[in-house]
A and B are shown apart, each in its own frame.
Chain A
């Protein structure tokens, strides 16, 4: 009886851990977000999103690094946003 109790508890704990891990998996829709979507979602958290034409490619490269660190953007977000701004300017 005691073994069965431990078994149930362990199984419950394992399923909980699996559920947490599974919920931590990023969905495809999020992974496939484009740079333009991320640009409009993230920049506007603090200020209105700037026009890509405001700066040239090299400038966006520098500004993106500054913004990534200042607002703790993920590396993927920062790279996609930079590529979008450089392609669109």
Chain B
């Protein structure tokens, strides 16, 4: 009898356990099933409201004056992951993988949590693309940039002076857009770690140069900056913008701790369909100006010297695409021209004027996939010249 009762109790326990496991597992199974049903193309899920977009590209280079005349130089793949957490909150991050001159590089281009406070204000924090001018934030992505190269000085490079922020920084921004009558305005205000002055102790050749990708700040002072954009026409075809950025750049407790870097920028974007020519005209341009307080540095021989530390960079790009004609091949062709100038502080060891002219052609296979070919002619600061032919195959997804 006792044995029977024990066996009954054991069976009840098993039933209870089974019921418990079923209750615990069934929502998870249901959710998994739902997710499987809703996961569709492009890696998006209706359940989590996330999406992966991005781009990939591959570069080929012909250098007639070099010993190695042809080279497959670079391949890059850059997924951007966006999670919409609520109607007001979302997170986005872009990671770039690329091989540059044989080295594999992985970079978190940006990672930012944004909160839409109201229709005029969005607050974001993290590693942000600095809203200084428009190039870095809007046009740098290779499937958006029509030419296979970046304007001179507008791509962040290690061991090269930055004339204003041209990459991403750690910080916080507040931004938004609104109508002003039939025109529109937009704004960005931000606080970041700011500029870092190269004092030349480790790299005498770069003394006085400014670096903006200052991920672990070298001083307590933070940079403040803003950009204001104005779109005077109701069809949003023209945007003009102005940016400023103020930052103390020297290392804390060093003799350079009070050195101030003042950066200014003006940008323009214009596009128009020229109906008689059945052509789309697109003009982009930006100028950055940087003024750093005068200071004394040591050259490679240990001699002190000083210089007027002001520099500027600019580019103007014009493109024409006969997209409105009937010929299905010609309408995919875009003619491109860009003039670039980088005028670094004359008396600095890294100073001088370099100019570059880019003439190119893009063939669009779809709205975000294309083949780009360009001829790049450079006049270097030391009086020499260089020429390169570039080919890029790029897709945005």
Contacts and interface: CB of A to CB of B under 8 A. Distances in A.
Nearest to B112: A69
Contacts of B237: 41
Interface string A23-34: 111110110000
Contact of A61 (B42, B49, B184): B49
Interface string B119-157: 100101000000000000111000110000000000000
A58 B271 CA distance: 30
B368 A58 contact: no
Nearest to A40: B235
A66 B51 CA distance: 10
Bin chain B's interface residue count: 35 or more
B114 A72 contact: no
Contact of B180 (A24, A41, A69, A76): A24
A74 B254 CA distance: 45
A73 B49 CA distance: 21
A59 B53 CA distance: 10
Nearest to A64: B84
Nearest to B180: A24
Contacts of B51: 55, 58-59, 62-63
Bin chain A's interface residue count: 35 or more
B119 A74 contact: yes
A69 B188 CA distance: 10
B90 A62 contact: yes
A69 B139 contact: no
Contact of A48 (B53, B187, B367): B367
Contacts of B180: 24
Given A47-B367, A70-B138, A74-B119, A23 B181 contact: yes
B182 interface: yes
B138 A55 contact: no
Interface of B: 38, 40-42, 44-46, 49-51, 53, 80, 82-84, 90, 92, 114, 116, 119, 122, 124, 137-139, 143-144, 175-182, 184, 186-188, 229, 234-237, 239, 269, 271, 364, 367-368, 396
